Amino acid sequence: MSDQVVHVIDDDEAMRDSLAFLLDTAGLRATTYESAVAFLAQADALAPGCIITDVRMPEMNGLELVRKLKDRNIPHPVIVITGHGDVPLAVDAMKAGVVDFLEKPFDDEVLLRAVRSALDARERQDQKDAEKRRFEAMLESLSPRETEVLRGVIAGKANKIIAYELGISPRTVEVYRANVMTKTGAAGLSELVRMALLAGF
């Protein structure tokens, strides 16, 4: 979590400074932006982490920002800060994919819990993405025939059925299955199936 950054977006300078100070005292790195537009201008080179945004802002509100992030495939978890009258808007933002919304005034500890939860979620997603890429590379190393056998295995077919469908012997299917297990490093069938599904096989 140490290399992650909390991106704070609020048009209220006092609120931005207050949030940055709170995050800093909690040992969290923060970067502040005065508007959603200013934030989006730098979003393509964004440090990993999460986003805290106010709902009501000029030019672009928090809900519009969430939609823009989704359109641009920016995966950072978003926490929305809302005033009492903005709750319906915040609910819409939740439906659009934000991880949490906090109504002002909120307790410092509540905000810090939400931020840590969002950063943990991002870290888990990053690990999952790395694992997915690793599995994809493993599966790409398979020969066309090994790939066909793997598809049969994932479909739950017995070796003799796979052999019949591919026009080869059951013994040859066993050899290909063993090759697949070796190349992927899977400890067993369940792990092999998990790898294949995670890689979108």
Handedness of CA 112, 118, 121, 125 (dihedral sign): negative
Residue 2, pLDDT above cutoff 60: no
In DSSP terms, which residues pair with 103 in a beta bridge?
82
End-to-end CA distance of the chain: 30
CATH architecture for residues 5-126? 3-Layer(aba) Sandwich (3.40)
pLDDT at 1: 46
Q: Do the domains at 5-126 and 141-198 have one common CATH topology?
A: no
Neighbour count for residue 57 (Cβ, 10 Å): 19
pTM metric for this prediction: 0.65
Report the pLDDT value the prediction gives residue 171, as an integer from 0 to 100: 94
* Tens-digit pLDDT profile for residues 143-153: 999 999 999 98
pLDDT (tens digit per residue) in 7-22:
999 998 999 999 999 9
- pLDDT, residue 172, reads 94
Given CATH 1.10.10.10, say whether it is the number of domain 141-198: yes
